[in-house]
Amino acid sequence: MMQKEDCFYLGKIVKKHSFKGEVVIKLDTDEPDLYENLESVFVDLGNNLVPFFIEKSSLSKGTMFRVKFEDVDTEADAEAILRSEVYLPLDLLPKLSGNKFYYHEVIGFTVVDDNFGEVGTIVSINDASAQPLFEVNREDKEIFIPMIDDFIKKVDRENQVIEVNTPEGLIELYLG
C-alpha cells in the first residue's frame, strides 16, 4: 500500500470534463509540463491512496490537466473521484540541482556557516511562518536559520552539507 509520507501532493480533481468520465486535475506546480506523460497517479479516496491508470491526458490552460482514467467511463464514475487529492511517489519528483532543493530532501544535512563553522543537523523545516526556517539541532539546542537565498551559499548533496552565510550573531542568539 502506498503511504502518503512516501508521496507528494500533485493536485486536485476539480471538475468533470465530458460525459465519458474524463476529469480535470488542477496541478499544484510551477512546471506542469513535467507531468505531461504520466502513466498513473494515486488518488486519495477516504484515506487510501488508490492507483489510477491514465489512458490519455493533455495539458490545457497552464496547470489544468485533462485526464481519462482507465475504468472511469461515466459521469457517475467521475463524480465519485471529484474533489479528491492526487499524489505521486516522491521518486517521481523532478530532480533539483544547484541551490534549489525540496524540503524533505535536506533533512539530516549538516549546516556549516562561513563565520561560525559547523552549526548542526537540519531536523526539520519550519514553514509555518512567512519565511521558512531551517530547524537545526546543535547539542540539544534548536537554532532557526531563515531560508533566504542570500544566506544559502551552496547545497552539497554528495556530502549532505548546506553552506550558509548568516548575519553576525544570529546563531549565537540561540546558544546564549
- The CATH number of the domain holding residue 43 is 2.40.30.60
pLDDT at 52: 97
Question: Do 74 and 131 share a domain, yes or no?
Answer: no
pLDDT at 17: 93
Low-confidence ranges of the chain (pLDDT < 70): none
pTM for this prediction: 0.63
97 domain-assigned:
no
Question: Do 110 and 87 share a domain, yes or no?
Answer: no
98 domain-assigned:
no
Look up the domain containing 15 and give its range: 4-92
pLDDT at 12: 97
Question: Do 88 and 16 share a domain, yes or no?
Answer: yes
Question: Do 9 and 74 share a domain, yes or no?
Answer: yes
pLDDT at 33: 87
User: What is the strand order of the sheet 152-156 is part of?
Assistant: 141-146, 133-138, 117-126, 110-113, 161-164, 152-156
